[in-house]
């Protein structure tokens, strides 16, 4: 299997292209700064993941920004902090301010020259529109949780996307789902028969951060630690075999024969 075997890349956005963990931590500071003993970064992210996942199951049609407001209130309750609803709403509206990973925009510009690009995201449309300004690329289509009426890891979201792409003449076998989250993306991609590419943004860190752990570890067809590494692998696939052989020799002993 090669990267160039596919016609379409379908992207998770938050955690893959947008640095949502940094965005979450920064936007939670009105809470965490008030704590006498502050949680570690991963403790805060893991607590957020638990409340977010529970709320997505309980209210699958709720807009993501509204859902995040509830998550913020749940965290405040856990940490025994008083908050008014407007503070919760402000947190829910922070998604568009979450930073983009440094390599995302350039990588997407390159990939746009070789693939059709789509989004499958647990987000509302207004929040994604603000994030997309930072990504700097026009996706062929965007499939949001608000559109589908459910949240990943529900198979409904993936089935909806696959059906929509089929109307564009793109077969399931021609789709490479590209994402960070094992829980939200790679596990359901396995279930619906999609090839997947893991952008391992948490390489070198313990746990799953802002996502719940999967029940069992899913299979991934490709794994890279950044979008830049994905682009480089794609470039390498088009180079002559003679270069690959020489490059391999250089990597093994520092000399090109």
Four-way CATH pick for 3-18+99-246: 1.10.10.10, 3.40.50.1000, 3.40.50.1950, 3.40.50.880: 3.40.50.1000
pLDDT at 245: 43
- Please name the CATH architecture into which domain 21-97 falls: Orthogonal Bundle (1.10)
pLDDT at 187: 98
Q: Which tens digit of pLDDT belongs to each residue from 169-226?
A: 999 999 999 999 999 999 999 999 999 999 999 999 999 999 999 999 999 999 999 9
Q: Which tens digit of pLDDT belongs to each residue from 37-75?
A: 999 999 999 999 999 999 999 999 999 999 999 999 999
**Region 106-114 average pLDDT:** 97
pLDDT at 76 over 60: yes
12 a catalytic residue: yes
Pairing verdict, β 8-11 and 175-179: parallel
pLDDT at 242 over 50: no
pLDDT at 241 over 60: no
pLDDT at 238: 78
Q: Which of 5, 12, 19, 185 is catalytic?
A: 12
| pLDDT tier, 244 (very low <50, low <70, confident <90, very high otherwise) | very low
pLDDT at 239: 63
pLDDT averaged over the chain? 93
Per-domain boundaries in the chain = 3-18+99-246, 21-97
pLDDT at 240: 56
Question: What are the DSSP calls for the chain, one per residue?
Answer: --GGG-SEEEE--BTTTB-HHHHHHHHTHHHHTT-SSPPPHHHHHHHHHHHHHHHHHH-TTS-HHHHHHHHHHHHHHHTT----HHHHHHHHTTGGGSPBPTTHHHHHHHHHTTSEEEEEESS-HHHHHHHHHHH----SEEEEHHHHTS-TT-HHHHHHHHHHHHTTT--GGGEEEEES-IIIIIHHHHHHT-EEEEE-TTTTSSS-TTSPPPSSPPP-SEEESSHHHHHHHHHHHTS-HHHHHHHHHHHHHS---
**Region 83-91 average pLDDT:** 97
30: left (phi over 0), alpha (psi -120 to 50) or beta: alpha
What percentage of residues in the chain have a pLDDT greater than 70?
93
| pLDDT tier, 8 (very low <50, low <70, confident <90, very high otherwise) | very high
pLDDT at 256: 25
pLDDT at 255 over 70: no
Are residues 187 and 212 in contact, defined by beta-carbon separation less than 8 angstroms? Answer: no
């Amino acid at each position: 299997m090669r990267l160039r075997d596919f016609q379409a890349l379908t992207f998770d956005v938050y955690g893959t292209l947008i640095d949502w963990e940094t965005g979450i931590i920064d936007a939670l500071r009105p809470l965490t700064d008030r704590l006498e003993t502050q949680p570690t970064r991963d403790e805060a992210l893991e607590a957020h993941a638990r409340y977010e996942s529970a709320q997505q199951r309980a209210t699958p049609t709720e807009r993501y920004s509204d859902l995040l407001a509830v998550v913020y209130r749940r965290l405040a309750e856990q940490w025994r902090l008083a908050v008014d609803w407007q503070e919760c709403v402000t947190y829910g509206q922070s998604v568009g301010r979450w930073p983009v990973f440094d390599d995302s925009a350039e990588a997407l510009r390159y990939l746009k020259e070789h693939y059709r690009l789509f989004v499958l995201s647990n987000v509302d449309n207004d929040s994604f529109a603000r994030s997309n300004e930072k990504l700097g690329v026009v996706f062929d289509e965007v499939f949001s949780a608000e559109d589908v009426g459910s949240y990943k890891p529900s198979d409904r979201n993936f089935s909806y996307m696959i059906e929509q792409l089929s109307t564009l003449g793109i077969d399931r076998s021609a789709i490479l789902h590209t994402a960070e989250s094992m829980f939200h993306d790679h596990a359901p991609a396995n279930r619906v028969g999609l090839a997947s590419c893991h952008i391992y943004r948490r390489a070198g860190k313990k746990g799953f951060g802002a996502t719940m752990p999967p029940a069992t570890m899913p299979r991934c067809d490709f794994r890279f630690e950044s979008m830049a590494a994905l682009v480089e692998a794609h470039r390498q696939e088009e180079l002559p075999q003679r270069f690959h052989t020489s490059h391999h020799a250089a990597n093994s002993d520092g000399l090109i024969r």
